Amino acid sequence: MDQTFDIGVIGLGQMGLAMAQTLVRAGQSVLGYDVAAERRALFVPHTNQIQDLANTCQTLLLSLPHSGIVEQVMDTIFPYCRPGMLIIDTSTADPDSTRKLAQAAHAKGVFYVDAPVSGGAAGAAAGTLFIMAGGDDDALHRAKPVLDILGRETVLCGGPGCGNVVKILNNALCAAHLALAGEALAAGEKAGLNREALAAALAKGSGRSAVFEVNLPKWVLSGSFDSGFTMGLMRKDVRLFDEFATANSISPILLQTASTLWRESKAILGDSEDFNCMVPFAGERS
């Protein structure tokens, strides 16, 4: 490939495709790549050769399912990366794996930032994500203009891996809030209350969470269950939290109880189901 691009996006899924389109709207030249041909076809221009991205782009943005795949992709493109390049990994990933990759990048003069996101595919499409960034100061400084396009706010969480620590804790809380909302709704209904009225009231009280404010009206009570975030990806995040707890010798009872519920849900709810299915699951089980 002769042409050069500002940014190469690796992983054109729900999030990566929307982020690539947002970057283009902001005036960036973007080259896309996904291992799946049908996802590649959704973005123009794209390439079938992943190394083209390292050869032709100054910045690489990753949006991949999990750390195993991030490491595999990094192994493949690393030999082609040049000093001065910037890699931003927006995947929700294992902080230890991130630290290892950031260290290898640093040794090669490549800037590496973990920048997991919150706000879903809609936030990625609108450029209003909330971004939790970790990295060395110079890497975070280099990444800022790109993160400013993708997000309404970026919190600098600390050194390499710290963005992913915050993201894992955020999603552990979200996973627990979904289960709690299901149990609270089921309890109120059992007492004869109307589900919609109950949910609307609980969205105003001091016990509220984003689940009551956003998830219930948008994806649960509407019956749409089409948020774009799957049970499989949330179970991966819950697993990351469990590993984090083990690595740090902590046993937070409530969060680990929620983890157990998410693990058990696999018997009934497949990986491709919407993650908001936890609300009826937890309600029925209580």
Nearer CB in complex with ligand NAD: 16/127: 16
Q: How many CB atoms lie within 10 A of CB 270?
A: 12
3-class state of residue 181 by DSSP: helix
Out of 23, 28, 39, 157, the only residue in the binding site for ligand NAD (CB under 6 A) is 39
Which tokens sit at 111?
């800037």
Nearer CB in complex with ligand NAD: 117/140: 117
Out of 92, 98, 164, 259, the only residue in the binding site for ligand NAD (CB under 6 A) is 92
Nearer CB in complex with ligand NAD: 111/219: 219
60 interacts with ligand NAD by CB under 6 A: no
| Segment (H or E) for 126 | helix 120-126
Task: Name residue, tokens 């804790």.
Answer: 169
Nearer CB in complex with ligand NAD: 17/202: 17
259 interacts with ligand NAD by CB under 6 A: no
Convert residues 180-219 into a mask of x (bound to ligand NAD by CB under 6 A) and - (unbound). ----------------------------------------
Chain positions 93 to 122 lying near ligand NAD, rule: CB under 6 A, are: 117-118, 120-121
Pairing of strands 57-62, 86-89: parallel
173 interacts with ligand NAD by CB under 6 A: no
CB-CB contact of 203 with 245 (8 Å): no
Phi, psi of 111, rounded to the nearest 5 degrees? -80, 135
Nearer CB in complex with ligand NAD: 93/184: 93
List, in sequence order, every residue forming a beta bridge with 31; answer none if it has no partner: 8
Name the catalytic one among 100, 108, 167, 190: 167
Out of 5, 7, 9, 11, the only residue in the binding site for ligand NAD (CB under 6 A) is 11
Using the contact rule CB under 6 A, the part of the chain among 5-13, 136-144, 203-211, 248-256 near ligand NAD is 5-13
Convert residues 123-162 into a mask of x (bound to ligand NAD by CB under 6 A) and - (unbound). ----------------------------------------
Name every residue whose Cβ is closer than 8 Å to that of residue 253 and which is 6 or more positions away in sequence.
Answer: none
Which tokens sit at 16?
């990566």
Phi, psi of 46, rounded to the nearest 5 degrees? -135, 170
Chain positions 212 to 241 lying near ligand NAD, rule: CB under 6 A, are: 228-229, 233
Nearer CB in complex with ligand NAD: 28/230: 230
C-alpha Rg value of the chain to the nearest Å: 20
CB-CB contact of 219 with 181 (8 Å): no
- Number of residues in the chain: 286
Q: What is the DSSP string of 209-230?
A: -HIIIIIIIIIITTS----S-B
Q: Which of 235, 231, 237 is nearest to 275 (CA)?
A: 231
Tell me whether residue 167 is one of the annotated catalytic residues: yes
Task: Name residue, tokens 């809030």.
Answer: 177
Point out the residue whose Cβ comes nearest to ligand NAD: 13
Q: Which residues bind ligand NAD (CB under 6 A)?
A: 10-16, 34-36, 39, 63-65, 69, 72-73, 91-92, 117-118, 120-121, 228-229, 233
Catalytic residues: 167
